Chain A
Amino acid sequence: MNGRPVLGVTDLRVRFDTDDGPLLAVDGMSFDVHPGEVLALVGESGCGKSMTALSVLGLQPPNARVTGSIRLGGREILGLESRALRSIRGREIAMVFQEPMSSLNPVFKVGRQIAEVLRKHEKMSAAAARRRAVELLELVRVPTPERVVDEYPHQLSGGMQQRVMIAMAVACDPKLIIADEPTTSLDVTIQAQVLEIFRRLRDRLDTAIILITHDLGVVADIADSVVVMYAGHKMEQAPVMELFERPRHPYTKGLLGTVPRAGLSGTRRELVEIPGSVPLLRSAPTQCVFADRCAYRQDDCRAESPVIREIGVAAQVACLHPVEVVVRS
């Protein structure tokens, strides 16, 4: 985790015009991702994390308006025309989605789909691409890759399909992989295997990974740094250990408290609840977006929307009254 950032996002805003009025899906997101770093983008549904990822790749819906700056290795890619974006997708930035079954084309063999990525970006011959496809399947620990390469997606299990997706993503050795809830639909034991693959990719190929998830267990397992999102805003960013040990934003603290913790101490305490639900932002907020649900709210929290600022080492928080308690030692 060093050197120049692979991806730099500054003040990203994504705005929709819907039947019921404007919708601010993302309102001022900024973050950097470095080579070999796993950045977890954490939040609940509706917080804008998926939209952030899609915007990076230029895959936002046509009625979305995106402003801000997205720099890939120093080069501005927001607003690039489609041809330039297409050459970036798959080659420099790759994406892994949540539902592998709907991301893989059911009528083409798996090997061919991987090879297609290779032939398009690296101009390989069919034979060379096929050989490389088998190698990639090995990299993601698919058993009997020479056979799997000729199978159709529906012949594979969910975990296998996800590995194929990862193989396709890694095919051209991208600098950055964006994984949107890659293990959410997988069984627990399979999830463990897939996370192991991501770890190997990070260690062996020094790939930067943006991992979008709502599962704090996944974050605890594999993330290096964490960005907590809420209603299109970044609430907190910190290295993973620090985030869990010393959450500064009340929302982060609340999220951590909602997870049933392993503890057989007989006493059944209640889990922390955060009343209410994630709001939809319709206009630039005039107060802290979390204020309505915040247990630590004070008067000035309703007067202005806090700006994200540095706090501690490599940590940021958007809160007027950050929590100061150490949650665990």
Chain B
Amino acid sequence: MTAVATVLTGRALARRRMRRRLLARPLSVIGLIGTLVAIAVALFAPLISPYDPAATDFGSVLAAPFHGAHLLGTDQLGRDVLSRMFFGARTSLIAGVLATVLGTVVAVPIGLVAGYFRGWVDTVISRLVDVVLAFPFLIIAVGMAAILGPSLSNVVIALGVGQIPVVIRVVRGEVLAQRELEYVQAETVNGTPSGVILFRHILPNISNAIIVQASVAVPTAIVGAAVLSFLGIGVQPPTADWGNMLGDAQGYLAQAPWLGVFPGVAIFLTTLSFNLLGDGIRDALDPRSR
């Protein structure tokens, strides 16, 4: 009847379908490209930067962009803006990704336990989460950075901790749904211990939700890192960082407005790319969306 083509089954089929759906939407493709560009820039920053981002040159301070040796101009200390932009991508992405990884790794087991065992454990965890979520994310991050001191690693910790309550909520919700499904009940009837059920059976089935959550959390963390540096309690100069570049630019808005424009646009484009990619991943993973 029909021609026999090579039939993919199981995992391979699901992956190919996901890839196809991801690439089907132009916005997702844009997001994917933007994200890959940002990652590439961050990875190869030392290779592609024309200048040392920390090298000062008091001879050409506040040079205008597109006019001379410095493609994007120089800042108040004569440092090349383009090179600082490339290296800034590094700090932003490291902060964003590591913070998300930290938050996820800590929060997932807590969410699993809360959602599966319920009872007083769940009540305690949920109320704690509620309390923490009552505070604006930035207040917490600022508070932690103030206590820990300004540095990239402390930024990662502060942002990571800020993400924990949200991830706990997401994971807990997914677990609540899964535990009612009959395959989980079947495991109980099999005599499988709860720990094994949680980590070997339920966790793989909620991994999609966790991935989607993480892909949305990374851009939030990138912006959070930029804000902390902008306020002066994040990454410290002379390390190049979009946030502190923006902060420095405040004093020179009249003379050299480009100093604020470039890092701002960079933050905007990077976060936009991650967000579009995240949306695309979410739609591609959702079996119900067309």
Contact = CB atoms under 8 A, between A and B. Distances in A.
Interface of A: 19, 63, 282-283, 285-287
A282 B5 CA distance: 14
Interface in B1-20: 1-2, 17, 20
Contacts of A285: 1
9 contacts: A19-B17, A19-B20, A19-B21, A63-B290, A282-B2, A283-B2, A285-B1, A286-B1, A287-B1
Contacts of A19: 17, 20-21
Interface of B: 1-2, 17, 20-21, 290
Nearest to A287: B1
A205 B67 CA distance: 87
Contacts, number: 9
Contacts of B290: 63
A51 B229 CA distance: 58
Contacts of B2: 282-283
B283 to A, nearest CB: 13
A53 B186 CA distance: 38
B85 to A, nearest CB: 40
A92 B171 CA distance: 49
Nearest to B13: A20
A83 B21 CA distance: 34
Contacts of A283: 2
A283 B3 CA distance: 11
A286 B2 CA distance: 9
Contacts of A63: 290
A285 B2 CA distance: 9
Contacts of A287: 1
B33 to A, nearest CB: 23
Nearest to B2: A282
Nearest to A20: B17
A19 B1 CA distance: 21
B21 to A, nearest CB: 7
A282 B1 CA distance: 10
A287 B20 CA distance: 32
A320 to B, nearest CB: 17
Q: 6 tightest A-B contacts by CB? A: A286-B1, A287-B1, A282-B2, A19-B17, A283-B2, A19-B20
Given A19-B17, A19-B20, A283-B2, 6 more contacts: A19-B21, A63-B290, A282-B2, A285-B1, A286-B1, A287-B1
A282 B20 CA distance: 20
A278 to B, nearest CB: 15
A282 B3 CA distance: 11
Contacts of A286: 1
A225 B255 CA distance: 87
A307 to B, nearest CB: 18
A63 B289 CA distance: 13
A291 B30 CA distance: 48
A63 B290 CA distance: 10
B12 to A, nearest CB: 15
Contacts of B21: 19
A19 B19 CA distance: 12
A264 B43 CA distance: 78
A287 B2 CA distance: 11
A283 B20 CA distance: 23
A126 to B, nearest CB: 39
Most buried by A among B1, B2, B17, B20: B1
A286 B1 CA distance: 7
Nearest to B290: A63
Nearest to B21: A19
A283 B17 CA distance: 21
A19 B288 CA distance: 12
Contacts of B17: 19
Nearest to A279: B1
